[in-house]
Structure 1
Amino acid sequence: MNYTVGLFIPCYIDQFFPEVGKATLELLEKNGCKVIYPEEQTCCGQPMANTGMEEVGKKIYQSMGELFKGCDYIVGPSPSCVYHITKHYDVVEQTPEIKHLRAHTYDLVEFLYDILHIEKLEVSFPYRVGLHKGCHGLRGMQLDNPSELMKDIPSKWGHVLGLVKDIQMTELTRTDECCGFGGTFAVAEEAVSTKMGRDRIADHVNNNVEVITSGDMSCLMHLKGIIDRQKSNLKVMHIANILNGDHI
């Protein structure tokens, strides 16, 4: 199917990790999507909401609805930001544009799994990889099965990564523990945040991981900062880059 997809790139990816946005674009186009990128987009408004300034954020919510109207779907490489759009844009007037935005915005992996039903990738990634399951994607969007739930939820992350040739997925000791980033939590509670991040990195190191991947670059940004300070050889790479055939 030839879907028209609006590419939503979170602000921190746009500013610091543009390679993730490029990989997302290329991956969607490889799978038959017509991709448009509204250049006026800025931020989903989540930082404002998290710091008690949602009245400011509401202006962003409304503009997002206008920017992406006419798209069959809106896709972004960030469960955290996508979850904010789909679940927290209920505080503004539910215009047809906002309703469409909330109902048709997908995380990249969610879109590949639920809408495109992807079953094949012609890419290779010959490394030992540890999957960091970010909290919004895991518990908010259920892209994987949280260990505390007595449910059988399919792993959408695991499915798409399993299509990559030569990849060696590594089982972690604590499979779905938070990295400690949490957006503004890392600023307000930096000591706790750093300790949590160190624990997650230690789990990967102890299980001989070479590359940490995740659907949320914000988590990887937090972990990479600690890794760099530790002068470790451990690498981080967004799942979009792996699925697109990029290498470290």
Structure 2
Amino acid sequence: MGFPGTWMTESESMVYRVVPKCACSTIGQIMFYSDHGRFFDGDIHDATAGLHKWAQEESQGPIEANVRAHRSYAFSCVRNPYTRILSSFFDKICGIQRNGKRYRGKLVPMLVQKYGIEVGSPDSGFEFDQIRSFRRFLLFARDTIRWHRPMDPDIHWSAMSGHIATFIANGGRYDHILWTERFNEGMQTVLDNVPTRHPVHLSEIPRFNESEGHGPKRAHPVEDYFDDLSMHLVYEIYKRDFLLFRYDFENPANKMPVGEIDLDEVHAKLGE
């Protein structure tokens, strides 16, 4: 199984387990900059040089050797499950992707047909009932995660704890897990613990939101998308995420964590 979703700087200063929809573009660019003194020109997910990635065969040996020996500072990043699933919906289901097409080809037409989801179009200014469509998407996300129907769950809406766990299962250990909602504070903790070839000043780092501008803007506050049934579905899907990463299930309007992450607990629960 190895270490899927793991990135490492070429200098081996730090190791990062990617969790989709959790500031991964910005983190990847910070890692690239810390080695090279410049940002990657384009989406960091497309970079095939300058950064070790498990998906690149030649990177697997160095990553595995490093992680198993815990030679470098290892970290990941999480996000409030309510805002993360909303972001996945607007980016992956409603948005037009970098290649100018819909995400995963036939996925959106299938959702329209089987779940009655509307996604709007760029021609109409993405006008549609966002709340109704999102709640139907939530049913689909639950079906993929609970029963792997009508498809396996996508990495962008599968639970964060599942991504985090693969690193632990194969012998990795985290030194830090930061929150997207307190990004600068958490990323500064990482940078304070690693040697960097080029100094990184977080106040000067842009946010690399590669999904922005490709789809509809969220028209309502987060809490408006979640009625009692939606909250129940979210808790069914992401219970472990809420508990381990200390997010507030009771109040979708509160995106901030409500306690400190216990790394020993994370390793114990996700290493089972």
Shorter-chain TM band: under 0.3
Q: Which has the larger radius of gyration?
A: 2
